Amino acid sequence: MGELAKGTTQLTPVESLRACVLIEEALKRLVFLGKLIREQKTEKRSHLTAAMGDDVIRLIGEQQDLEKMHQLLVKDKEELHGLQDRETLRATERQLQEASAKLKEANRDLCRNLRQTPDIHANMLKLNHERQRAEDWLTETLHELKASNTFKCLTDNVAQEKHAQERLAEARRRNREMSQAVRLLECELRKEEAEFAESRRATSIEVAALKQELQRLKSKAGVKLAFTEAAMVAQLEGKQWQLVQEEKRLGKELEMLQKEADEEAFLQRANADFRNKLIRQANFSHTSR
């Protein structure tokens, strides 16, 4: 046994015999344990399933109902954004917050129930698997001891199992790190969602205010346009009246000028006739002499 402490796998015949006796006794107990597990597995499965299934099914149903309600409220909120009905929008937002809180509580209840209700059937399967593996290891070691007084296969299996446990521990560590990273990302996502919702709400309020301002400006512009149009029509009618009056005045002036021109022409013709007549009379008198 001193050599065993130094790390060798070679035993003396006496040590090998003692080890074989102990291993055979352990194998008998493992075989007996396997028979007990197989006999009780079917009976316990149905009993445990009935005991743990009702609460889980009820919680899952409640969670699904809350998810449907949450989706409907989100849809209603999307449709109400940008509308003038602020009271309905605020009421929908309150209902959405209440539904979200209930959904989170339902998720916590479901997780708590699942943690408090272990899968005993799966645990029994795992236990039976571990028992079978230990039985295989001991059987292989027993054969090796009887054949060569060594247990190298056992040390190899232990080393492999240790390496597997180390890899499992590393995988669990990475899983914890990834879970922590996921939780941080979820927190950031919830924060961004809250900021986005607040920004969207502020944008909706601003859009509604701009719509009201636009409507007011349209009304004001319409009134101003109507007043300006009426003023322009009145101004145009006034100018048209002035043009008509000016046209009448110019017509009268034209008639007077035409009359004066006609009188002037008549006087000129009369004067010319009179001069011609005097000239003819003078010529006639001179000829008579």
Distance from the first to the final alpha carbon of the chain: 200
Task: Determine contact, residues 86/209, Cβ cutoff 8 Å.
Answer: no
Residue 238 burial by Cβ neighbours in a 10 Å radius (0-12, 13-18, 19+): exposed
Work out whether the CA dihedral 79, 81, 86, 92 comes out positive or negative. Answer: positive
Overall average pLDDT of the 197-221 stretch: 89
3 token code pair:
């050599």
What is the 8-class DSSP label of residue 12?
-
pLDDT tier for residue 275 given thresholds of 50, 70 and 90 = confident
36 token code pair:
């007990």
Question: Is the pLDDT confidence value at 125 over 80?
Answer: no
Q: Does the pTM exceed 0.75?
A: no
* pLDDT tens sequence across 58-114: 666 666 666 666 666 666 666 665 555 567 666 666 766 776 666 667 666 666 665
Task: Give the pLDDT of residue 6.
Answer: 42
Question: Is the pLDDT confidence value at 262 over 50?
Answer: yes
Task: Give the pLDDT of residue 165.
Answer: 86
Listed in sequence order, the residues at least 6 apart from 70 whose beta carbon sits closer than 8 Å to its beta carbon are: 96, 99, 100, 103
Question: For the chain, what are the domain ranges?
Answer: 13-147
Half-sphere exposure of 20 (CA within 13 A, CB side): 16
Rounded to the nearest angstrom, the gap between the alpha carbon of residue 238 and the centroid of all alpha carbons in its chain is 64
Task: Determine contact, residues 197/78, Cβ cutoff 8 Å.
Answer: no
